[in-house]
Structure 1
Amino acid sequence: MQKIPIDLARPGMKLARPVLKDGGMIIMAEGMELTDSLIVRLTNMKIDRITVQGHPVDMGGAGSGTKYAERMERLDVLFRRYGQDKWMVRVRDRMAQYFRIKAAAQEAKAKAVQEMELEAGQDGNGENGDEA
């Protein structure tokens, strides 16, 4: 089971937990397989994270150049005095998980924009070259 940003969701992934609305109403049931249209629907509903089965996304080094990755690196310094406090360790771990998810989403968004720019550049050059 892995919690991922909706930006990293892909068709074929299966939900490990139901997706809930703010009031607790179930939008999508556990075990549903994602499709392109379901991902778009979740995005339009402002759902930012989902929990999927398995570990389909490697988020270990995701977002290494993002502002969230920088924040994640600072956590050890910020929590250095609380190494023995189990509650503060839990807070630090939760914050690290949150920043890791946000960093992965930010990196995925940047890659998607870059790919779209490359495709737009190739389409423009390729059409002109084929016609000439």
Structure 2
Amino acid sequence: MSRRKTAKAAAEAAPRCTVTVCRGCCCGTAKVPGVDHADQLAQLKVEFGSVAQVRAVNCLDACEQANVIVVQPSPEGRAAGGRPVWLGLVNDPDATADIAAWVRSGGPGLAEPPAILELYEFGPSRRVRRVLEG
């Protein structure tokens, strides 16, 4: 096995959170003015490095909460009782930094989020939860 394949396999095997960033019809567009959406996504990817997988998706169907970020626990975090945390109106670099610090500390199930993130947390519709979490 090549060195590249070995490193990729090790990274994939490492338990880590998944951070899903909505970039659909409202999130990540000019409909949310004053936010550098590309920079926000790039900042998350840099902040997390190998600690979390960051993925951009087309639409999480929670447009009234744009920009939406969902932090899914690592396998270890899920075993400890962690569940996906939906965060909306994440339009401030400080909020992005708070999310990054929490995920670096272990994320859902393993670390308490900064108290300020309670202001961003929301519950999506059951239909949306089934699609993403199912």
TM-score if structure 1 supplies the norm length? 0.21
Higher strand share: 2
Structure with greater helix percent: 1
> TM-score, normalising length from structure 2?
0.21
